[in-house]
Chains A and B, each alone.
Chain A
């Protein structure tokens, strides 16, 4: 796909893509706050509908359906970022110190 190639090889578009990423990070957090604190009318109706459906299905268990920490509007963001870093670095540390060996390890 030549057009994709020309597009991605262009430093300007790469820069634009990075801005798009920043924007979407911010927007996702803002949306988290939006549904938490100021549910707009159409959203409220939607979530209410969903909750009713869940109530009907799960009866008395609906109140357990989410944990307190999930009520933090940017829980997903914080969790994703921290876990990504810990998991990536932790795994590599484990690998380098314990399990990673040269490819011919089993042939010797």
Chain B
């Protein structure tokens, strides 16, 4: 039916499209960018399930099109989010920023549709480099520093991933297939580490709340959608059955992650950093969902739980991209219109930015899981999967995180930014293009909340989710109780929860303060050690140069120096020593003097005879002596020579 429709790799649309952006200006550029985003959505819609777009690369086949329900689900939300975010970013003047954003989106789509590990790695790296540009375009010192830290972490992650891929190729006899890794080995663990760095799993998460709040206003919006969610996709693809000796590590990491982000968000004062910690928290739900799938898969015949958990993960990633994008767009609008980033400086904005407030609250209700918003219909699937697996600790941890999410994003941030004490800020709602981008995301948040089946139909396992009813009466009432009583709790604790003008230390302390210690070690012991080696080598060279100018005279000087020292130690200052020193001084001043000695022929003959005799002795005697006794003899000879010379000096006949 749709056979005739030509589709191309969606990554190519954005990456090739990105390169042409600088050729256009003004309205034409805006129209062109929207056209690309729309074309990408249509393209994904018409892509057939299957494996295609294979390209030979060395002795391997790169697969750019592995299309199935899972990759298509992510493909849809990536392209839809790209459209909304492109609207939001339309007025950015800098062509380079648009190019970076499109390269970033394109490479994220490349990872999603990649069928082999080499393709994943290539797009993985493009993603890291394109996204760091979105941080650097802010052009503040803080953003440049944060960008370098961001890049450092992602380069390390990329190297781990590459190492894992190479080990995996060894292990599997040259296979680069990107399928489920259901066993723990050095290769799969390295690949997992590469993936969870991008998923921002604590303690490897600190790059996210460090860099996102320093990115440009529109850059941060793009970044919320793609890096962590491609990581969720590759984890769902590769590690949905991964256990270490039956222990589903991702389930616990995910649940801890969900709580970790919540705790730090409560402490945060910077609005975008608060929201960034809630990316960590929400991605925690998804990682946990993948872990639940793995834990259920390790049993027997319980695949319906695994399938539900993966459905929940995909659904939550889909919804998360929409509402988190909207949250960052709203926060970006506040920063753009007021120039302020801190809750302690904001307040009473509902009077001047009412539309922003309404759009923000739609996203906040979505992330908090308020019924009729999309978070309610997606987050609950993961929690439901925990129920099905009978895992009460995980269920409770995820519910605690849900309370914390509503507390920070649904109550604290809007209360202190939009309501609360009026900071008397003069501002207005952002420009229309930004409002359109926000409106698209808000519309989808509500649409998927009211008609969840639209989303459920495109999930990877539609059969598993078919019987799930998010709007069961008990579930709705339970959720309402949870949220209303959290609200009551917030009103009571409002004073205690007031934002404070501080920052919170996180694991990036290790490389931010650790780097100070590192730099000290480099500047002191290491640098000194290096300098000493250089000095020592140079002095050996200098000596060799000096010595070779007149070896015979030089040897005499060296011997005399040693003799004078011996004399001084044994006798103290004597007249002999003084005169010897004077003679030595004059010899050193005259050095190198005349290197060629004009001696009669008889002296040369004598020296030659002595040399030959010595040679004969060395040739005849050593086979009968051990190495030590040779050294001993040599030392005796040297000592005797020095002794004779010292005696000469004492008599005052030296020189």
**A contacts, CB < 8 Å to B:** 1, 4-5, 8, 21, 24-25, 28-29, 31-32, 35, 43, 46-47, 50, 53-59, 61, 64-67, 69-70, 74-81, 83-85, 87-92, 94-95, 98-103, 105-106
Contacts and interface: CB of A to CB of B under 8 A. Distances in A.
A47 B474 contact: yes
B535 interface: no
A103 B503 contact: yes
Interface in B202-248: none
B407 A88 contact: yes
Contact of A95 (B302, B407, B504): B504
26 contacts: A5-B351, A21-B484, A28-B480, A29-B481, A50-B472, A53-B466, A58-B388, A59-B304, A64-B387, A64-B388, A67-B387, A79-B482, A80-B482, A80-B483, A80-B484, A80-B485, A84-B490, A85-B489, A85-B493, A87-B262, A87-B403, A92-B496, A98-B505, A100-B505, A101-B502, A106-B503
A67 B395 contact: yes
B353 to A, nearest CB: 10
Contact of A87 (B305, B407, B488): B407
B350 interface: yes
B451 to A, nearest CB: 17
Give the most central of A64, A80, A83: most B CB within 10 Å: A80
B403 A54 contact: no
Contact of B481 (A53, A80, A85, A89): A80
Nearest to B505: A99
A76 B407 CA distance: 15
A21 B491 CA distance: 11
Contact of B392 (A29, A67, A98): A67
A84 B503 contact: no
A66 B262 contact: no
B278 interface: no
B618 to A, nearest CB: 68
Given A35-B477, A80-B483, 12 more contacts: A47-B474, A53-B466, A54-B468, A77-B485, A80-B484, A84-B493, A85-B492, A87-B400, A88-B493, A89-B496, A91-B266, A99-B504
B351 to A, nearest CB: 5
B267 interface: yes
B485 A76 contact: yes
A28 to B, nearest CB: 5
Nearest to A58: B304
A39 B135 CA distance: 55
A84 B403 contact: yes
Q: Per DSSP, are chain A's interface residues mostly helix, strand or loop, or mixed? A: helix
B305 A61 contact: yes
Contacts of B387: 64-67
Contacts of A29: 481
A92 to B, nearest CB: 6
B440 interface: no
B390 A64 contact: yes
Ranked nearest first, the 4 interchain pairs of A and B with the lowest CB-CB distance are A57-B467, A76-B481, A84-B489, A80-B485
Contacts of B263: 87, 90-91, 94
Contact of A31 (B384, B407, B477): B477
B165 interface: no
Q: How large is the interface on B (under 10, 10 to 19, 20 to 34, 35 or more residues)?
A: 35 or more
A100 B267 contact: yes
Contacts of A95: 266-267, 502, 504
B295 interface: no
Contacts of A4: 350-351, 354
B621 interface: no
Contact of A74 (B354, B400, B481, B483): B481
A31 to B, nearest CB: 5
Q: Per DSSP, are chain B's interface residues mostly helix, strand or loop, or mixed? A: helix
A75 B390 CA distance: 18
Nearest to B407: A84
B482 A102 contact: no
A71 B426 CA distance: 50
Contacts of B351: 1, 4-5
A92 B496 CA distance: 8
A81 B484 CA distance: 9
Contacts of B502: 95, 100-103
B639 interface: no
A92 B503 contact: no
Given A83-B400, A84-B485, A50 B395 contact: no
A100 B305 CA distance: 41
A58 B482 contact: no
A41 to B, nearest CB: 13
Nearest to A24: B484
Given A59-B304, A80-B482, A101 B504 contact: yes
Contacts of A92: 266-267, 496-497
Contacts of B179: none
A32 B500 contact: no
Contacts of A55: 467
Give the most central of B262, B263, B478: most A CB within 10 Å: B478
Given A58-B388, A67-B395, A87-B407, A28 B484 contact: yes
A50 B476 CA distance: 13
Contact of B399 (A79, A81, A98, A101): A79
B506 interface: yes
Contacts of B485: 25, 76-81, 84
Nearest to A87: B404
Interface in B277-306: 302, 304-305
B321 interface: no
Nearest to B351: A5
A70 B399 CA distance: 12
B478 A70 contact: yes
Give the most central of B308, B481, B493: most A CB within 10 Å: B481
Nearest to A81: B485
A77 B480 CA distance: 8
Interface in B394-450: 395, 399-400, 403-404, 407, 419
A92 B408 CA distance: 13
B472 to A, nearest CB: 5
A98 B464 CA distance: 45
